[in-house]
Amino acid sequence: MKKFIKNRLILICFLVLNFIFCGDNGVNNSETYTVADTLWTETKDYDADSYTQYRKLNFNVDVSSGTHAVYVEIYHKLHNSSSYSLYYKTSDFEVTGISDSTWHMIGVGGINGDLPHNSYDFELRIYKSGSSKVRVTYGPTDDPDLNDQAFEPASEDTVKVFDL
């Protein structure tokens, strides 16, 4: 009987540890996520001063195995600051495999919120759907496209009209 209780205790310990280390109710979390690349498209800089009022941030997420639902939070900070704040959170989308060629896009500036005239760093944080545990971050040291990016509000990015 003592042996039975001991075995039960060992099983319970195993299940508790499995829950703690695997998280998400014991579902295996061993797959790893990477951001393959980011790049900008659809640049709007009407006064051509290199400060854009709007651009689309394109990003490509891979996973080491299987198909998984994820979401991404885009953080930003002033280039000379150290603290990020949330700019945009995507809805869930699926990623498949290490060479998922699907690009996802987030508009920065304009409809998702004007950015005051300044230079910004951006960071992507990848989460599994339904979880608040960051699986991977991807920022200015990973990709120069996320470093020192010049933005200004639409109100300052107007074409100059001269009276002739």
Residues near Ca ion (CB under 5 A) are: 37-39, 45, 47, 49, 51, 143, 145, 157
Task: Decide the pairing of beta strands 54-63 and 85-89.
Answer: unpaired
Burial of 159 (0-12, 13-18, 19+ CB in 10 A): exposed
For the CB of residue 40, give the shortest distance to Ca ion in the complex, in Å: 9
For the CB of residue 45, give the shortest distance to Ca ion in the complex, in Å: 4
Nearer to Ca ion, 29 or 143 (CB): 143
The Cβ of residue 10 has, within 10 Å, a number of other Cβ atoms equal to: 10
* 8-state DSSP, 163: -
For the CB of residue 37, give the shortest distance to Ca ion in the complex, in Å: 5
| Separation of alpha carbons 35 and 95, rounded Å | 11
Nearer to Ca ion, 29 or 37 (CB): 37
C-alpha closest to that of 109 among 99, 100, 117, 101: 117
Nearer to Ca ion, 23 or 100 (CB): 100
For the CB of residue 27, give the shortest distance to Ca ion in the complex, in Å: 32
Nearer to Ca ion, 128 or 157 (CB): 157
